[in-house]
Amino acid sequence: MPTARRRVVVRAPGKINLSLGVGAVDDRGYHALATVFQAVDIYETVSATRADELSLEVHSEVPGEIPLDESNLALRAAELLRTEFDLRDGAALHIHKQVPIAGGMGGGSADAAATLVALDRLWGLGLGSEGLRQLGSRLGADVPFAMLGHTALGRGNGADLTTVLTHGEWTWLLAVPGGHLSTPAVFRRFEEIATGGGRPPVTHPTVDERQLQALSGGNLELLADTLHNDLQAAAFSLHPGLEPVVEAAEQHGALAALVSGSGPTVAVLVEDEAQARSIAAGLMSESLVESCLVARGSAAGASVLEEE
Q: Is 103 helix (H, G, I), strand (E, B) or coil?
A: coil
Give catalytic residue positions. Answer: 15, 142
Compute the distance between CA of residue 72 and CA of residue 109 in angstroms, rounded to an integer.
Answer: 10
User: Where is 214: in which H helix or E strand?
Assistant: helix 209-217
> What per-residue string of b and e applies to 81-95 under the rule 16 or more CB within 10 Å gives b?
bbeeeeeebbbbbbb
Q: Is 305 exposed, middle or buried (0-12, 13-18, 19+ CB in 10 A)?
A: middle
Cα distances (angstroms) measured from residue 236 to each of 103, 246, 250, 264: 14, 10, 16, 9
Q: Is 75 exposed, middle or buried (0-12, 13-18, 19+ CB in 10 A)?
A: buried
User: Where is 192: in which H helix or E strand?
Assistant: helix 183-196
Q: Which residues pair with 297 in a beta bridge?
A: 40, 170
Nearest alpha carbon to residue 261 among 235, 279, 241 = 235
DSSP, res 206: -
DSSP, res 61: S
Q: Is 241 exposed, middle or buried (0-12, 13-18, 19+ CB in 10 A)?
A: middle
Cβ pair 208, 19 in contact under 8 A:
yes
Compute the distance between CA of residue 281 and CA of residue 6 in angstroms, rounded to an integer.
Answer: 45
